[in-house]
Structure 1
């Protein structure tokens, strides 16, 4: 398969904010890979991304030199919110013919069209020559689905990525428990650490550095060139994305690329976007004192609403940061580019591009937003690109013009 389209369902994209404010759904990481990377590996082709216009310059079809008319004939279109697996979904996708579709309940998973159409996320079953129904698939509808379903996807990824491959050896004085469930890529640096895969697999990508006294209990994935500082404790169902620096205690959380939680403090049942930083001593509550289910901020209703989840920590959008000793309450939602500091618990919803905490919040100037992002990314030898700036400017103007 040469090309296929991953498209953002409009309902799912809205529900997945703040994570999707700065990316299409296909760039969400869970398990070991992003959703796009996973589809490309399973189907052996190149994914073209159909997303919001303001995200398209960086992520969408505009960056691909292939024209629509040359590619989009007899094209496969896939809803990015669905995560592929080998058991049921992939074999059906390979046998799809023109105007045949796959549904999970009432939601379209994939369709093969004779030509490209933009309006593909409003399914009507009578429009298709044949409908396939699948019974089980990982479906990402809300941000908390990322950490709720991370263990399932991580285990699937581990089996898929390690099949027929040999793990590299880990040299030094280290303790590996259930070694057969531990897979190491090349150039891992570790000394006096514990890897315990009894409860689930552990996958370490190339260039990972794990400092002395660190302990990892699977299922866990540590991605390319990330660093675990001394004495880090990582519990199961956790993914640390590429180029991150982490420390302290982490459980059932997903940290996207280039984000830091480098110091002591607890992070549980949480999502950190890219380029986030938690200051030293930042702690996140992931359980209410009365053990009840949580309420979560809804961007559409602009209010909190109840969900059927008990353990829920923090969801933080890209570029946001907390100062030292920040204490986040259970089920806190932080937008993009927020700078959080001050005494007491911050509010459980913190808007994008705001500065402060419970006592006072101000809107950060867009000039300051760009200066901080440029400075932060340069420290990692990454350029703050024009497309990055354009995305932030669009969001900033949408919220504060």
Structure 2
């Protein structure tokens, strides 16, 4: 059977995180959504259906058609109930959560067939799941991260043996801490009393760092001296982290090296927060926040009180930048200047309050190439083409 993850209508609602990736590449808990599906179904996902300008990077093959397939909406996270129903589906049977389709079994599906057309067809049978995590908006990532992280920890570490730490460290609730190989630590605190802690291979945790679960730290990441990592936080691979972080998700190759607060936030890949950058995650009047909506091109009300920043890939802030509660920053921004930047910063912006300027595209590529080369990663033609496509669009 072929398993295919597709981008549904949620893709646009998840900007700016999905401007540069399919929904299946969103990270929360210990895994990306794609990795999580692969672990639950016990095999590699056969393909991804995403936007045409992303396909060359993320699609394995563009066959004209597929046979015997399960089409799965990437915005839903797998659980035991869903997997049990999924493997029992027959031709043209589907699974729904409320009014949203999660998956459908097809004996035949054309690559060029419009995914949305599936919603217009009559189904032989509809199954319903009662409880599932549905990632519809970018803030759903940090809202659900602690819950997903706890479940991922139990699922992934079951039956596996944790490595041991060298050095003089203070460990609380050792049975809820899982350590991969070659971790460097000395004089750090790992407190899993309030949730599990997972630390990947070749992570370095410098002196005085404190981790309070639930927390996941990806491979080759460095936590600087005195870093304070609170629960609900996932830090992906190859990151450099310092200061204070609470209930946030940081994608791979991003840096928050110095002191400063980051809470209830998401940083995409290749981001960098300058020294002293601070993000407010709560209004002074304790009111619910409004958030920029890319489709309506306006701020919309939410039911959220705690909300920091959502920053797209390749964006940077200068030293001592102060972000207001519920800020949305697009991709490849260079944010600096006096005062608070606007709460919505379009992609490729230069400056802060005075962000009327757009960074020339050659400078966008030059900065990306320099940063990626420093980590021995090639700024490929595929990466350039994605950024160039987005650069030609307005209001992103």
Question: TM-score range with shorter-chain normalisation?
Answer: over 0.9
The CA distance in 1 between the partners of 2:362 and 2:347, in whole Å, is 15
User: 3-state SS of the aligned residue for 2:319?
Assistant: coil
Provide the secondary structure at the position in 2 that maps to 1:26.
Answer: helix
Q: 1:146 aligns with which of 137, 141, 145?
A: 141
Cα pair distance change 1:128/1:360, threshold 3 Å: closer
Moved more, 322-331 or 352-361: 352-361
Question: Which aligned pairs between 1:320-335 and structure 2 lie closer than 5 A?
Answer: 320-335=315-330
Matched, 1:7 2:3: no
Deviation, structure 1 residue 371: 0.6
Give the Cα–Cα distance (whole angstroms) in 1 for the partners of residues 354 and 383 of structure 2. 31
**What TM-score does the superposition give when structure 2 sets the normalisation length?**
0.97
Partner of 1:22: 20
Following superposition, the deviation at residue 122 of structure 1 comes to: 5.0
Deviation at 1:44, TM superposition (A): 1.8
Aligned partners of 2:314 and 2:126: how far apart in 1? 42
- Residue 94 in 1 paired to residue 87 in 2? yes
Q: Who is 1:115 aligned against?
A: 108
Residues 1-400 of structure 1 correspond to what in structure 2 (within 5 A)? 3-9=2-8, 11-47=9-45, 48-60=47-59, 63-64=60-61, 67-69=63-65, 72-86=66-80, 88-117=81-110, 118-121=113-116, 124=119, 127-399=122-394
Q: Is the 8 A contact 1:125 1:131 kept in 2?
A: no
Distance of 2:22 and 2:89 partners within structure 1:
25
Give aligned pairs, total: 392
The Cα offsets for residues 306-344 of structure 1, whole Å up to 9 and x where unpaired, read as 011000000000000000000000000000000000011
Moved over 2 A (4+): 66-69, 117-126
CA distance in 2, matches of 1:68, 1:162: 39
Deviation at residue 128 of structure 1 after TM alignment: 1.3
Task: Give 1:94 deviation, angstroms.
Answer: 1.3
Q: From the superposition, tell whether residues 130 and 370 of structure 1 become closer, same or farther in structure 2 (CA, over 3 Å).
A: same
| 1:297–1:333 Cα contact (<8 Å) kept | yes
CA distance in 1, matches of 2:53, 2:355: 31
Contact 1:273-1:318 within 8 A present in 2 as well: yes
Alpha carbons 2:349, 2:355 under 8 Å: kept:
no
- Give the structure-1-normalised TM-score: 0.96
**Is the 8 Å Cα contact of residues 251 and 267 (structure 1) preserved in structure 2?**
yes
Cα separation, partners in 2 of 1:121 and 1:164, compared to 1, 3 Å? farther
CA deviation profile, 1:150-195 (whole Å, cap 9, x unmatched): 0111011101100111101111101110000000011111100000
1:277 positional shift: 0.2
8 Å CA contact 2:196–2:214 kept in 1: the answer is yes
- Output the CA distance in 2 between the equivalents of 1:108 and 1:298: 23
- Structure 1 unaligned blocks of 5 or more: none
Please give the per-residue CA displacement for 1:75-127, whole angstroms capped at 9, x wherever unaligned. Answer: 000000001122x1111111111111110000000111011143334554861
> 8 Å contact 2:96–2:103 — kept in the other structure?
yes
Whether contact under 8 Å (1:174, 1:190) holds in the other structure is yes
Cα offset, 1:399, TM superposition: 2.5
* Post-superposition offset of 1:265: 0.0
Per the alignment, in what secondary structure is the counterpart of residue 393 of structure 2?
A: helix
Deviation of the 1:385 alpha carbon: 0.5
The answer to whether the 8 A contact 1:85-1:156 is kept is: no
Alignment RMSD:
1.3
User: For each residue in 1:251-286, what CA deviation from the matched residue of structure 2 results, as whole angstroms up to 9, or x when unmatched?
Assistant: 000000000000000000000000000000000000
After superposition, the C-alpha distances for 1:183-209 in whole angstroms (9 at most, x for unaligned) are 001111110000000000000011111
Residue 127 of structure 1 aligns to a residue in which SS? Answer: coil
**Please, which moves more after superposition, 356-365 or 281-290?**
356-365
